[in-house]
Amino acid sequence: MNMTQTQENTVPHAFNLLSSVSIDGNNALSIALTQSRCKSISRQIFTMWPNLKVASIKLAEITTALHPTSENQLLLAVTLKRAFNAFRSNQGKDVERASEFLQILLTAADEIIKFQLLGYKSKGAYVVWEPFSEPIEAWIKRNEIVQITWQENTHEHLNDTFQWILAGKILTYSDSQMVLKYKKKPKKGVPKLCVVGK
């Protein structure tokens, strides 16, 4: 579904929904890769590690390309940028680089639970999306929602539990085993742009 912004902030938290175009996981991923300037490097890495693309698509299905962060950025684009930069800067084995990529995807859970997503129906009633329960697009269609709004959640629970709930939604068993084997804390900080050759 095509989503038009209803606010003029850097990252609006409210969107009107038009049903003419479907924003599925593949489309959301493509949008986020463009926003993060990582399309070129994604082709290289996803060719070598197709499971990383599958996990990225599944994350995109859960968040869409519109989910905000607490720093008023776009969650999917920011997370992918960090993941690709970490993959490129990691000097370890390829499997360690892939593991770090997946670990960073899981950190999106920390931002997802900072927000509450409200979906408004045509007559004004609203429903609340339960984090990690189902892809946002499926939830929108099932409830016939015409507008969505993200509100900051006052009840934060920041711990690894939510990352592993997300892992159950986007990782295969083999991916989860790889992450556990090579688990390390992702580096924090403002990510640099993904530019091939630098």
pTM: 0.81
**Above pLDDT 70, what percent of the chain?**
78
Tell me, letter by letter, the H, E, C secondary structure of the chain. CEEEECCCCCCCCEEEEECCCCCCHHHHHHHHHHHHCCHHHHHHHHHHCHHHHHHHHHHHHHHCCCCECCCCCEHHHHHHHHHHHHHHHCCCCHHHHHHHHHHHHHCHHHHHCCEEEEEEECCCCEEEECCCCCCHHHHHHHHCEEEEEEEECCCCCCCHHHHHHHHHHHCCHHHHHHHHHCCCCCCCCCCCCCCCCC
**Annotated domain spans of the chain:** 20-113+158-181
Q: Tens digit of pLDDT for each residue in 171-185?
A: 999 999 999 998 865
